[in-house]
Amino acid sequence: MFLPHFARIYRAFILFEIPIFCLVKIDTLHISTRAPDLLAAFYVKHFGVTSFPENGNIGLQFGRSKLILQPSEREHRYHFALNIPSDQVENARTFLKTFTDLLPDPDTGSEVIDFTSWNAHSIYFRDPAGNIVELIARHNLKDRARGGFRPECLRCISEIGTPSESVKNSFDTLHHGAGIARYSGNFTTFCAAGDEEGLVILTELDRNWFPTDTPSLPEPWSMCGERHGKAISMEFRDGVLEVNQ
């Protein structure tokens, strides 16, 4: 999610910082990659998701969300999260270990990370593009799925990492532009804006993405989604966040 030494600190803010139910949903997320074919093949083969053409790009269906892979001449490394049912944490861990290495908590070595203050458990891995991907079970959503881990357990894209020179300025853009509230954070080094189905993770530049030593860089992305049923769109480019609705 964020950087190792601050993970538990910023998650503790959540006990006091959910004053508004935002109902933010990420419908389509566009990211750039140097190897869209390789990345698509990875998710289709191992996760069984559906791929489809999208205006010359490759799209992947993760539950109700679409991830659009746009070709680029350079490498990009993002952090994004996918919601999974609350009863699938151990199944997801076992499933992932059949084809990739997990990224453990740097302090405890645990492959399943307990974010108590968020009432959530997460598992992290790197995909072939170097993206830090998080499967997160948010227990407040009371989502359960009987049986083993399967493509249907990937419910939606629920987070996208957004490093910038000013966390506060980026939050103000979201709040004033789309009415998106703070979910957790301090406006200085970290702020999660939105809710459990759609969070923009605002961080300082060059902080390490938890639970790795990979610095957070301003990788470009764009998103279409909704808040309270109204369409919104966002774009993050050259370290600047813009919102339209």
φ/ψ of residue 139, rounded to 5: -70, -20
- How many domains, the chain? 1
Q: Are 55 and 4 in contact (CB under 8 A)?
A: no
| Distance in angstroms (rounded) separating the CA atoms of residues 94 and 76 | 28
CB atoms within 10 A of CB 186: 15
106 has pLDDT over 70: yes
152 has pLDDT over 80: yes
**Beta strand spans in the chain (E):** 24-33, 50-54, 57-62, 65-71, 79-84, 113-115, 120-126, 132-138, 156-164, 182-185, 190-195, 198-204, 221-227, 230-237, 240-244
Q: Which amino acid is at 110?
A: S
Q: Residue 73 is part of which domain span?
A: 4-244
List pLDDT tens digits, range 61-72: 999 999 999 999
pLDDT computed for residue 67 by the predictor: 98
Token pair listed for 49:
């998701």
pLDDT computed for residue 228 by the predictor: 87
* pLDDT band at residue 23 under the 50/70/90 scheme: confident
17 has pLDDT over 80: no
Q: What is the CATH number of the domain that holds 60?
A: 3.10.180.10
Three-state secondary structure call for residue 117: helix
List pLDDT tens digits, range 153-169: 999 999 999 999 999 99
**36 closest CA partner among 21, 24, 20, 54:** 54
